[in-house]
A and B are shown apart, each in its own frame.
Chain A
Amino acid sequence: MATLEIKDLYASVETKEGRKQILKGVNLTVNSGETHAIMGPNGSGKSTLAYTLAGHPKYIVDSGQALLDGEDILQMTPDERAKAGLFLAMQYPVEVPGVSMSNFLRTAKTEVDGQAPAIRSWAKELSQSMKNLRMDPKFASRSVNEGFSGGEKKRAEVLQLELLKPKFAILDETDSGLDVDALRIVSEGVNRAKENTGLGILMVTHYTRILKYIKPDIVHVFSDGHFVKTGGPELADELEESGYDKYLPEGSNSESALA
């Protein structure tokens, strides 16, 4: 049983107009086995929260903590956070030319586990996971994310999630750009990972569509850099009906559309 506890987190980003604070007092506790949906309009800071937790250098933590079993991951380098058990499935996975998926996955697995996986069982696990995600075996020899379609990139993210077995996974709009079949396959992968390892999930999305496949225990509304409402799965249905407008700060309007 692990716990991720975000305490009063403030974070900023450097823009052309100067430093801009995006996260304004985020508080959240996620336990192993829980699935939290983080919903909110465009520009509310959901992705910033995801990247700040993972340690992207663009985001500067102003104050606050993110304790993974008591250890503040905000003090760690991104690779140390991964080793501590955090995983970020990115909205736009990065292409790494010339580095094969298989080499990348094995290197990552070795670093996260602190030892190289046994060759035979690793090959078997990789091939089974790829099969589950309906990925062509030749993906293993292709360069990381290079020339992958949007759907293939998302499957590759979930493949990593399944293989690296983190304690907590942040899914940053993993549903965006997926057709119905791909959405189902990717969701099944996430559910499988949760079933196998009991991981806790923070699922960032602004569509309710993915919630049909990955059932949230808790739904949060994120607006203007912090959580403004928390409820059960029924909150997602309410958002579906009435949108985010009533959660927006005064004087702004939502450009988001609910699916």
Chain B
Amino acid sequence: MAMQEQEISIPVADPKDPYVLPAAMPSSADKEPRSFELHDFEMPTRQQEDWRYTPIDRMAEFFDPFTPSGRTGLEVSSIDGSPVDTDHVKVSTVPLGKAPSGTVSKPSDRAAAVEWTSGKESTVLTLSGKLDKPVLVNIQGAGLDLDSFHLVITAEEGAVGDVVVEHHGQAKLAEGVEISTGANSTISTTFIQEWDGDSKHVGNHRIHVGRGATLRHSVVTLGGDVVRIRMDQDFGGEQGYLNMLGIYFADPGEHIEHRTMVVHNHPECKSRVVYKGALDGKSAHSTWVGNALIEPTAPGTDSYELNRNLVLTPGAIADSEPNLEIENGDIVGAGHASSVGRFDDEELFYLQSRGITAADAKKLVVRGFFGELVEQIGIPEISGHLMEVIDRRLSRGESAQMRAVLEEK
């Protein structure tokens, strides 16, 4: 059923004072302005809603402009290592601020504005037609000297393809990502963080889903001292579908934070946000904040968000906060669910009674916990790749033989 077009005028807010026009505020749960200007953002403190869960003292270096080291490594290929198909994938570089960089929304917090202010250029990936193989963007950390990286992924109208962005090594990285998908395109973007334990990574994803387009946006964060990724999205027309999936694993002392902001601004769009995390050990800390805003312009909206946390050992902390703001009574659905659960003793005993050690039993259960979600991706090359990444994380320290068994090869 296509909605009849109707004209609705939305007042535009002054970014410096979003309260002047409450209807144009991004969300009551999201009081930050949208701006490229650093001075529009206050210095973060734990008293601010957006930063209340973040150990800001551990990432203070990301709050003031810096000179990027420029040493972050970048390689773009097909997922099997072969060169990209240049008929369908164009890789280019533009000065930061020149289109298409800076065209998808605006920074929504100070760290994102700092990345925009400090960076010099942007890598641009343009997808058109139907890609045969997923594109792999391999980002190698530049060590502990601060660097910034900006990536724009643009999918043309009707494009069909998959992009995987991997982060490895040791890094202190401020990253900005802009994703814009054309009308009726079917795109997946998968971001994997496999940082070394002392790495820090602050990311801002700005996402625009075209009319009638489907975007699967996946984030897998499996390591890093502090990783904070903030995602802002909106739709470019009716009947867009956004499917966000997240997986994270926090080790002792690590802080892993994901914030999703889904904005329904057009009729009959659908969004699903499902994030699952496992936490292991003392002071492992994860934060998930899922905001969904359904604007007056978005009748027929169907939205749902879910977060599940599996606490493997005592002493870990999982913050989970879904926020739903509905400004339209004519919707299909808007739901949310959130849970933090302990590792089930009965499951553990059952597996142990079959000879499986407690440590391996936990790995099996965590693998299953994530596997259920990865299975839903439905793109074998992507789900297979993700399970490999998860297996690599879970089988750290295992013998080759046990690794092969646990990984279900």
Name the residue of chain A whose CB is nearest to the CB of B346. Answer: A94
From B349, B361, B402, A110 is in contact (CB under 8 Å) with: B402
Contact A98 B345 (CB under 8 A): no
Q: A5-13, A78-86, A210-218, A227-235: which one contacts chain B?
A: A78-86
Q: Are A164 and B405 in contact (CB under 8 A)?
A: no
Cross-chain contact A116 with B401 (CB below 8 angstroms): yes
Residue in B344, B354, B367, B408 whose CB lies within 8 Å of A112: B354
Once A103-B408, A110-B402 are accepted as A-B contacts, the answer to whether A97 and B369 lie under 8 Å apart by CB is: yes
Q: Within 8 Å CB of A90, what residues of B?
A: 350, 353
Known contacts: A56-B349, A82-B353. The answer to whether A99 contacts B360 by CB under 8 A is no
- Expressed in whole angstroms, the Cα–Cα distance for A111 and B358 within the complex equals 12
Cβ A96 vs Cβ B356 within 8 A:
no
A171 adjacent to chain B (CB < 8 Å) = no
A107 touches B360 (CB 8 A): yes
Report yes or no: B401 in contact with A97, Cβ–Cβ below 8 A.
no
A110 touches B401 (CB 8 A): yes
Q: Is the CB of A98 within 8 A of B367?
A: yes
Q: In the bound complex, do residue A104 and residue B369 qualify as a contact, i.e. CB atoms below 8 Å apart?
A: no
Closest to A89 in B: B353
Contact B405 A98 (CB under 8 A): no
Q: In the complex, are the beta carbons of B351 and A104 less than 8 A apart? A: yes
> What is the size category of the interface that chain A forms with chain B?
35 or more
Which residues of chain B have C-beta atoms less than 8 A from A116's C-beta?
A: 401, 404-405
Q: How far is the CB of A152 from chain B (nearest CB, A)?
A: 16
Query: A57-B349, A98-B370, A116-B405 are known contacts. Are A82 and B364 too (CB-CB below 8 A)?
Result: no
CB-contact partner of A93 in B350, B361, B371, B372, under 8 A: B350
For B355, give its contact among A97, A102, A164 (CB under 8 Å): A164
Interface membership of A60, Cβ < 8 A: no
Closest residue on chain A to residue B402 by CB atoms? A110
- The residue that B364 contacts in the complex, of A77, A81, A103, with Cβ under 8 A, is A103
Please tell me which one of the listed residues A79, A98, A160 contacts residue B368 in the complex, with CB atoms under 8 A apart: A98
Residue contact A57 to B364, C-beta cutoff 8 Å: no
Cα distance A104–B350 when bound, in Å? 11
Within 8 A of B (CB), among A148-188: 160, 164
- Count of B residues near A, CB < 8 Å? 30
Give complex CA distance A96, B368 in Å: 8
Identity of the chain A residue whose Cβ is nearest the Cβ of B350 in the assembled complex: A94
**A21 beta carbon closer than 8 Å to chain B:** no
Evaluate whether A112 and B352 lie within 8 angstroms (CB atoms) in the complex, with A94-B347, A96-B368, A104-B364 already known: no
> Would you call A82 and B349 a contact (CB within 8 A)?
no
In the complex, the answer to whether B358 meets A99 with C-beta atoms within 8 Å is: no
Residue of B350, B356, B405 contacting most chain A CB atoms (<10 Å): B350
B377 at the interface (CB under 8 A from A): no
Residues in B with CB closer than 8 Å to A102 are: 408
A102 to B409, CA, bound (A): 11
Given known A104-B351, A111-B357, contact A96–B405 (CB-CB < 8 A)? no
B371–A108 touching, CB < 8 Å: no
In the complex, whether A22 has a CB less than 8 A from a CB of chain B is no
CB neighbours (8 Å) of B408 from chain A are 100, 102-103, 106
Q: A96-B368, A103-B408 are in contact. Are A108 and B345 (CB under 8 A)?
A: no
Query: Does any Cβ of A come within 8 Å of B406's Cβ?
Result: yes
Interface status of B389 (Cβ within 8 A of chain A):
no
- Contacts A55-B353, A88-B353 given: A96-B406 contact, CB under 8 Å? no
Secondary structure class of chain B's binding surface, majority of residues: helix
B365 touches A (CB below 8 Å) = yes
Give B352's nearest chain A residue, CB to CB. Answer: A78
A107 and B364 in contact (CB under 8 A), knowing A77-B358, A79-B352, A100-B408? yes
Q: Which residues of B contact A99 (CB under 8 A)?
A: 364-365, 367-368, 371
Question: How far, in angstroms, from A98 to B372 measured CA to CA in the complex?
Answer: 5
A54 within 8 A of B: yes
Q: Let me know if A106 and B405 touch, CB within 8 A.
A: yes
Interface residue? A143 (CB, 8 A): yes
| B371 cross-chain contacts in A, Cβ below 8 A | 98-99
Report yes or no: B356 in contact with A79, Cβ–Cβ below 8 A: yes
A77 to B352, alpha carbons, bound, how many Å?
8
Q: How far is the CB of B394 from chain A (nearest CB, A)?
A: 12
- A164 contacts B352, CB within 8 Å? no
Known: A97-B369, A98-B369, A107-B360. A115 touches B401 (CB 8 A): yes
With the chains together, A107 CA to B346 CA distance in Å? Answer: 18
A82 to B349, CA, bound (A): 11
Given contacts A110-B401, A110-B402, contact A83 B367 (CB under 8 A): no
Q: Which residues on A sit within 8 Å (CB–CB) of B347?
A: 94-96
User: Per-position contact with B for A32-43: 1 when CB-CB < 8 Å, else 0?
Assistant: 000000000000
* Distance from A116 Cβ to chain B, minimum over Cβ atoms (Å): 5
Within residues 334 to 392 of chain B, which ones have a CB less than 8 A from any CB in chain A?
344-347, 349-358, 360-361, 364-365, 367-372
Residue with the greatest number of chain A CB neighbours at <10 A, chosen from B352, B358, B360, B365: B352
Q: CA of A102 to CA of B368 in the docked complex: distance in angstroms?
A: 13
In-complex Cβ contact of B352 among A55, A95, A98 (8 A): A55
CB nearest to A88 among chain B residues: B353
Complex Cα gap A164–B364 (Å)? 18
Given contacts A98-B367, A98-B368, contact A83 B350 (CB under 8 A): no
Closest Cβ of chain A to B312, distance in Å, is 15
Query: Which of A87, A96, A97, A143 lies in contact with B351, CB distance below 8 A?
Result: A96
Residues B401 and A108 in contact, CB atoms below 8 Å apart: no
Interface pairs (19), CB distance under 8 Å: A54-B353, A55-B349, A57-B345, A57-B349, A77-B357, A77-B358, A78-B352, A79-B353, A94-B350, A96-B350, A98-B371, A99-B365, A99-B367, A103-B406, A108-B354, A111-B355, A111-B356, A112-B354, A115-B401
Task: Please provide the 6 A-B residue pairs with the shortest distance between their CB atoms, ordered closest to farther.
Answer: A98-B368, A82-B355, A78-B352, A94-B350, A112-B355, A108-B354
- In the complex, besides A96-B365, A104-B354, 12 extra interface pairs with C-beta distance below 8 angstroms are A57-B345, A77-B358, A79-B352, A79-B357, A81-B353, A94-B346, A94-B350, A96-B364, A97-B372, A98-B372, A107-B356, A112-B355
